[in-house]
Amino acid sequence: MSDGLEVDVRAVASVGARMVRSAEMLRQQAIDAGRLEFGGVQAGRDYCALGDELRNALAVVSVALDEWATETEAIGNNFRAGATRYAGTDGAFADGLDGVLP
């Protein structure tokens, strides 16, 4: 007994497209985080070291967001490409079966 396999190609492609859009938003957040200017000078004399630590932490956040965006975009593109390949393979297989029947 086989449960079979059903792939909703539109849903898979939609997930991929949404992931790519999410990646765009993440990338913009990375850019925005990178533009934040704060450091020892802005923190003032008594908090200079803490201000520098905050600046460094913001840089780490910016890099992490950019890396997250890159990976999310790659996964989204893989989903979309997989959906396209599956639809092509499924269609080709169906066409092949049509040739078997009289």
User: Contact at 8 Å (CB) between 48 and 38?
Assistant: no
Domain ranges in the chain are 9-83
Three-state DSSP at 6 gives: coil
Tell me the per-residue pLDDT of 5-62, one tens digit each, with 9 for 90 and over.
788 999 999 999 999 999 999 999 999 999 998 888 888 889 999 999 999 999 999 9
Q: Strands, DSSP E only, in 1-102?
A: none
Confidence band of 1 (pLDDT split at 50, 70, 90)? very low
Q: What is the pTM of this model?
A: 0.75
What single DSSP character describes residue 100?
A: T
